[in-house]
Amino acid sequence: MDYTIKQVSEKTKLKAHVLRYYEREGLLPFVSRSESGIRRYSEDDLEWIGLICCLKNTGMAIKQIKKFVELSMQGGKTLKQRCDMLAEHKKDVEAQIEKMQKHLRKVEHKIEYFTEQYEKYKIDNT
Amino acid sequence: MDYTIKQVSEKTKLKAHVLRYYEREGLLPFVSRSESGIRRYSEDDLEWIGLICCLKNTGMAIKQIKKFVELSMQGGKTLKQRCDMLAEHKKDVEAQIEKMQKHLRKVEHKIEYFTEQYEKYKIDNT
DNA sequence: TATTGACTTAAAGTTAACGTTAAGGTTTAC
DNA sequence: GTAAACCTTAACGTTAACTTTAAGTCAATA
């Protein structure tokens, strides 16, 4: 049960040209082809794409993801290295979330302040 | 007590050329100049830059920030509009954080899985 | 059989947000 | 008073991550 690029595009919300671009960039070296050269994505490939999207959406650069994929292709001997990479990334994501939350509080304060000001403004202008 | 571009650069961690770039893009229309045309940043300006960085670091595009600044320059009559803009942005930031947290859990699961695999691998290869 | 539509590659274009360079004016420290 | 350390504008360059275009192959459908 393989999928065409279009089906994968629909499942992953990644445009077909983006899937090809990722492949060119070395993010999807495992995707196989039919006799006529057409891409055939397996269930496993979809799992992989899921992880790649997760890493990308948390700010990992494509080059870094490529490194991770390359390590994975080398089998068990790189498990420790991959673990370390993900642990590093985890820290990074946690830091991002904290920063975001801090910024969020600032935005919330501003909203409160502007709301107050707006109430005053309405009274002064009636 | 005004600041030079360099001092502001140090305080805000924004390079001087970035401050000039932001000004060109309409993010800092309030910054005044000395007689000889040198930028003089007030304490208030620093406050403003703080908010701008907050919005930028939470993913608001420079064009959007410019809109917000322009509204602010028009005074009290735009308070409601600004409130609405920030409320929209707040939602956006909250969504970003949630997404990040979801992705973080996936990364954590992968780390757990790889750690297990690594333990097995070590046993098989001794 | 012809045309529609999905697939292919290579390569050039786009966008946001800077970053760098050139060419020159001004202020401050010794 | 002069050299270093600032400042200015204008314009071109860079990077990441796509996006589009051009030119063509292949398979199924009317």
Could you tell me if A100 and B58 are in contact, meaning their C-beta atoms sit under 8 angstroms apart?
Answer: yes
Could you tell me if B70 and B26 are in contact, meaning their C-beta atoms sit under 8 angstroms apart?
Answer: yes
**In sequence order, what are the beta bridge partners of B39?**
B33
Residue B1 pLDDT > 80: no
User: Angle A88-A27-A7 (CA atoms, 0-180°, nearest 5)?
Assistant: 120
| Distance of alpha carbon A114 from alpha carbon B5, whole angstroms | 29
In this structure, which amino acid lies at residue A93? V
Please name the fold of domain B1-73: Multidrug-efflux Transporter Regulator; Chain: A; Domain 2 (1.10.1660)
Task: Mention every residue, 6+ apart, whose C-beta is less than 8 A from residue B35.
Answer: none
The whole-number pLDDT of residue B125 equals 85
- Taking CA atoms, B57 is separated from A22, B13, B37, B91, in Å, by 27, 13, 30, 15
Residue A35, φ and ψ in degrees, nearest 5:
-55, -40
Which protein residue lies nearest to nucleotide D17, measured between its Cα and the C1' atom? A62
Most A CBs within 10 Å, among B13, B47, B83, B102, to test the A interface: B83
The whole-number pLDDT of residue B98 equals 97
Residue B41, φ and ψ in degrees, nearest 5:
-95, 130
Residue B84 pLDDT > 80: yes
Count chain A–chain B contacts defined by CB atoms under 8 A: 94
Residue B96 pLDDT > 90: yes
% residues pLDDT > 90 (chain B) = 80
In the predicted model, residues of chain A with pLDDT beneath 50 are none
Residue B74, φ and ψ in degrees, nearest 5:
-85, 0
Q: Closest Cα to residue A104, out of B108, B54, B19?
A: B54
The whole-number pLDDT of residue A103 equals 97
> What residue segments make up the domains of chain A, in order of their start?
1-73, 78-126
Residue B114 pLDDT > 90: yes
User: Angle A119-B42-A108 (CA atoms, 0-180°, nearest 5)?
Assistant: 35
What band does B65 get if pLDDT is binned at 50, 70 and 90?
A: very high
| Distance of alpha carbon A115 from alpha carbon B106, whole angstroms | 38
In this structure, which amino acid lies at residue A125? N
The whole-number pLDDT of residue A72 equals 96
B86 is written with which tokens?
């920030």
* Chain B interface residues (partner A, CB cutoff 8 A): 51, 54-55, 57-58, 76-77, 79-80, 82-83, 86-87, 89-90, 93-94, 96-97, 99-101, 103-104, 106-108, 110-111, 114-115, 117-118, 121, 124-125
The whole-number pLDDT of residue B47 equals 94
Burial of A55 (0-12, 13-18, 19+ CB in 10 A): buried
The whole-number pLDDT of residue B43 equals 92
| Distance of alpha carbon B50 from alpha carbon A103, whole angstroms | 10
For residue A80, the chain B residues in CB contact (below 8 A) are 118
Distance from CA(B34) to C1'(D5), angstroms, rounded: 19
B117 is written with which tokens?
């695999």
- Any idea which nucleotide's C1' is nearest the CA of B37? D8
- For strand C, give the nucleotides within 7 A of a protein CB: 6-9, 16-21, 26-27
The whole-number pLDDT of residue A97 equals 97
Classify B8 in phi/psi space as left (phi over 0), alpha (psi -120 to 50) or beta. Answer: alpha
- State mean pLDDT over B26-51: 90
The whole-number pLDDT of residue B2 equals 87
